Structure 1
């Protein structure tokens, strides 16, 4: 379903898209440095060339190119496996404060689990804001390694990311894809995560019990049914987010804009349950076929 929705909607934009996005190349940004292209470390030479084309590397005045490997996983993720295979790649262009995040999966057929909104939510949790991020892969992969590559790009650019936040962000991506795999529509998963975060920002819960109440309220409001196991995963995740060193008041605008984007996307979906079930069945089979791949 994600691929079809991506194909019939405009490029996802979180917060305020720059009015000159897509305009002529203005050369090297001397304030933020070069765009950084992060290639999955397990790409072959031919695959790397294909990804570079998809990310329009040649169209940039100049870029910095690096690789993300399984070794980087253990830097940003507590239980990361250094033997993981890394294929999904990204180009990151930093923007001025207030520009927000613009996320585009340029090879939607090859990023099988992670959506634009899932990336955006996880990046906000990790502390990444104000950038244009394009994601690509040369073959079907889940898309998780692109997030680790984005972390690495920011540190190469001189940013210091909180390892606790990057670990929680990875956990968030895992929970989001787990819930989506259980049968909840991708857009509804992103809506659920965003609405819970908005309530955490507004209510400032002090205990896990208060977080659980917020989660339960949003599940009821959005009419989402989860297994007891997935429900507990979500509560545990949101309690971890509550404990992070985050100024939640600064999230309000970005979460509100993300919420509006998701609502607009849900509004474009054709209200035909039989049609969407056939689409979901197709992609469930595709995901089952590649579930053994770690990316």
Structure 2
């Protein structure tokens, strides 16, 4: 919602104050379609050249996150902690082999079915099942498991960050592309040097619209999109880091409640449920 407000406020402030200050929108309106086509087309072309197909597809898919934010909400973090609590409690009480039925067929597991939004996230389910499976295979060295898990999380995060970097690269290029459009406009103007000053002024003004649009798009739209996606990816990474924190604490032979508290404390403040909320939620978790 805040992103929508920002996108509305941006042109209102820029163009509205320009008009109130006595500026005329006519030169901008006249030149903008041509300049936008030149600058925008060049920016898209550069985006396609500098990124692979996976990143481009990922970028188009994740644009909605600029408005919607992270796919995980506060309740999802609480549900994740409750799911992990039920699994590590079962493993602690009956041994690692007791969770095999849940991690081998999570879609049929009562533990996972209780939290459908977690079950719908393939990466979260994969992390939980793969690393709890390691425990059933007697891979119980917490340091080694932590290192493997951290390496996988870093890989996933880096892949996501490619999208934010791609948009930031476009933002960095836009001012220069605006200058290119302006220079071409000046070249066109120089070809009409014999025209009267009123005509030359209009042509120069149109050329400068290219510089304006390049800077405006870079710092007003594409740059903020890159920054927003960067923040969203950082927040989503914390969701998966929670899985690591709880499982590693469990491997260090911490009690299930302590393992969950370790994961809770690592959460961002805006989505971290209170200790009392988690205690109440864990008290309602069905015994597996």
TM class by shorter chain equals under 0.3
Q: Which has the higher strand share?
A: 1
Normalising by structure 2, we get a TM-score of: 0.25
Normalising by structure 1, we get a TM-score of: 0.24
Q: Which has the larger radius of gyration?
A: 2
